[in-house]
Amino acid sequence: MGLKLGGGLAAAGNTNLGQAQQLLGSAAEQEQSRNIGDKQMEQQRKQGNTALGAAGGAVLGAKFGASMGPVGILIGGALGAVAGSLF
């Protein structure tokens, strides 16, 4: 009778171990997915900052560089893109 009890406990322990390993694997996959999502969001944020900086720089270049014409817009846009990519 003791043999059956020991075998039953070992089987239950193995089942619990298998379930725990599955849960840990699932948690690791979720963490990896979150990390990938966070990296993608950070990339999009940086791209948005660069675009916003370029647009703002172009507007400022057009306003303050009116004597330069299109060259002022280009210079302002380039400087704005560089400044936007820094943040």
**Which of 52, 60, 58 is closest to 78 using CA atoms?**
58
Confidence (pLDDT) at 29: 93
8-52 pLDDT, tens digit per residue, is 766 777 788 888 899 999 999 999 999 999 999 999 988 888 787
Q: How far apart are CA 64 and CA 69, in angstroms?
A: 10
Looking at per-residue pLDDT, the higher value among 65 and 71 belongs to 71
Mean pLDDT comparison of 35-49, 53-67, 71-85, highest-scoring range = 35-49
Q: Check pLDDT > 50 for residue 2.
A: no
